[in-house]
Structure 1
Amino acid sequence: MSEAVLVAVRGIVATITLNRPNVHNAFDDALIADLTAALAGCESNPAVRAVVLTGAGASFSAGADLNWMRGMAAASEEDNRADSLRLAALMRTLNFLSKPTVARVNGAAYGGGVGLIACCDVAIGVDGAKFSLSEVKLGLVPAVISPYVIAAIGARQARRLFVSGEVFDATAAARIGLLHESVPGDQLDAAVERALHFLAKGGPLAQAEAKQLALRMAGMTRESAERTDAANAALIARLRVSPEGQHGLSSFLDKRAPSWVETD
């Protein structure tokens, strides 16, 4: 495992930290692989009863890394599909982890970062954090993370945020259900500890079953998620290699407005 992801176990709690602060904890192949492995390690460790996911530095996660995006823009549709399936496996692993998970949202979350928050059982963020599902600005869609985001905030809110790509604040994130709590920065750790205090009171088997019960009653199982992930990976791969997706990605990477944006 590289230094992109750090794992610290204290008592019954494992804290997983996205550790690429210089790029706002953006995703690349190494981070996706390391985070998936870290979650699997927590799953198999009987001493771990709860998992906290957070980011190093000022941000939680900015979503896709620029260099990673550049590589995917030049890759084939099949390579893009395989790449998306790896991200889908990460989200699925987090969403269906048998142990309670807490997102400690220390700062901004964009794209896939929003997906990680939506996959956690409890989400607590600082009141200065900003959020966005900005994929449409690149001619893309938040395909892989969509089932988890929609489960968190509902289809009505998702429709607005998917098509607008607008930035919203922590107050709005709490109002629509992406965050359970929005707190001042100096109260974040206390709020997370409070959540962990209550989680420690539950029976481990009962918590695992309760989590699966809630997901199952909402119509989400591992098997259905895997089928959805395959379809969504194919969708985002197709869009990445489409003329609009290629133009949107190249415009973003070149720091210029795409053709569909009116400029004065």
Structure 2
Amino acid sequence: MTTPAVGRTRARGVETLSLDATDTRNALSAALVGALSDALTDCGKDPDVRAVVLTHTGGTFCAGADLRDPPDPDAFVGLLRQIVELPKPVVARVTGHVRAGGLGLLAACDITAASTPSTFAFTEVRIGVAPAVISLPLLPRTDPRALARYYLTGERFDAPEAARAGLLTAAGDDVDAVLAPVLDGLRKSAPQGLAETKRLLTARVLETFDRDAAELTALSARLFSSAQAREGMTAFLERRDPAWAL
């Protein structure tokens, strides 16, 4: 198995972190979560980094949790909070598909953009669990009616719908063209101004972490260890319908 990696490049003060575990469709393994956390820590300490772009290689931004090597729930909560608390804007750039836990990464970012062909789905209910931990950044930032539909059905939805629901800042055929004025604006902004403005914008999200993180982490652990989740994950890995499918 290839060791998951996070690619890193820099251009004019913007550090680009690229999820680069294409053999698992950038699924959130323990190793990938750790590598991304380490890279973000470096960015937070580096005074030459004005902003961070989180992107991916391959056709999938993130396929959700790696069912063969899942991250510890506390570690994943820590990663989401790290993105929210980083004193520099984090911009998500998506040119592919996003599933389950990957949507938590998007919600934790400050600005998110995706190409029009990108697709999204909360697939947790289909394997017998719930989008528990990723709700920490999602619930304060996205439309509750849209979340109710897509949480409960696991339906796939497109980039314009993701933008309407508040999951994306913008969608377009050329995501780099969409992000060009955003990155230009961040480069012109003072580091102190960015840090303090981000603090204002993320206050409600961090209140949700403080209030609900322990409860939702426990819920996630309980659900993933349940009999229904074992059946759902086995069915997914064996590419068949789970026992409850009608």
What's the TM-score, normalizing by structure 1? 0.87
Q: Residue 160 and residue 99 in structure 1: after superposition, are their counterparts in 2 closer, same or farther (change >3 A)?
A: same
Secondary structure of 2:72 counterpart: helix
Aligned match of 2:135:
146
Q: Which residue matches 2:187?
A: 200
Which residue in the other structure is 1:26 paired with?
27
Please tell me the residue identity of whatever aligns with 1:65.
D
Q: CA deviation at 1:254?
A: 2.3
The residue aligned with 2:150 is 161
Taking a change above 3 Å as real, the CA distance of residues 240 and 3 of structure 1, as seen in their structure-2 partners, is closer
Partner of 2:243: 259
Among 235, 240, 248, the alignment partner of 2:219 is 235
Contact 2:127 2:232 in 1 (8 A): yes
Compare 143-152 and 32-41 and name the one that shifted more: 143-152
Tell me the secondary structure at the aligned position of residue 206 of structure 1.
Answer: helix
Partner of 1:44: 45
- Sequence identity percentage: 38
Instruction: Please name the residue that 2:13 is paired with.
Output: 12
Query: Is the 8 Å Cα contact of residues 64 and 102 (structure 2) preserved in structure 1?
Result: yes
Deviation at 1:167, TM superposition (A): 0.6
Match of residue 122 from structure 2: 133
Q: 2:159 aligns with which of 170, 188, 193?
A: 170
Size of the aligned set, in residue pairs, is: 244
* AA at the equivalent of 1:180: T
Q: Residue 51 of structure 2 contacts residue 186 of structure 2 at CA under 8 Å; is this kept in 1?
A: yes
Unaligned runs of 5+ in 1: 70-81
| 1:232 maps to amino acid | L
Displacement of 1:155: 2.3
Select which of 94, 113, 119 maps to 2:83. Answer: 94
Q: Note the C-alpha offset of 1:208.
A: 1.0
SS at match of 1:68: coil
Aligned to 1:58: 59
- What residue ranges of structure 2 are gaps of 5+ in the alignment? none
Aligned AA (1:59): T
3-state SS of the aligned residue for 2:68? helix
Report the more deviating stretch, 152-161 or 27-36.
152-161
Name the Cα RMSD after superposition: 1.6
State the Cα deviation string for residues 225-247 of structure 1 (Å, max 9, x = none).
14522211110111112222222
Distance 1:3 1:143 in 2: 24
Instruction: Write the letter of the residue equivalent to 2:200.
Output: L
Distance 1:242 1:226 in 2: 26
AA paired with 2:15? Answer: A
Deviations 1:117-136 (Å, cap 9, x if unpaired)? Answer: 11111111000001001100
Alignment match of 1:245 (pick from 208, 229, 235): 229
Q: Render the CA deviation track for 1:16-38: whole Å, top value 9, x for unaligned.
A: 00001232211111100000111
Partner-residue secondary structure (3-state), 1:67: coil
Q: Please say if 1:220 is aligned against 2:205.
A: yes
Partner Cα distance (2:4, 2:14) in 1: 20
Whether the 8 Å contact between 2:120 and 2:156 is mirrored in structure 1 is yes
Give the aligned residue type for 1:55. H
Q: Write the deviation string for residues 4-61 of structure 1: whole angstroms up to 9, x where unpaired.
A: 1111122211000000123221111110000011111100001000000000011211
Deviations 1:166-202 (A, max 9, x none): 1101111111111111111xx2222222210111222
Distance 1:157 1:147 in 2: 16
Q: Provide the rounded CA distance (Å) in 2 between the counterparts of 1:210 and 1:65.
A: 34
Partner of 1:210: 197
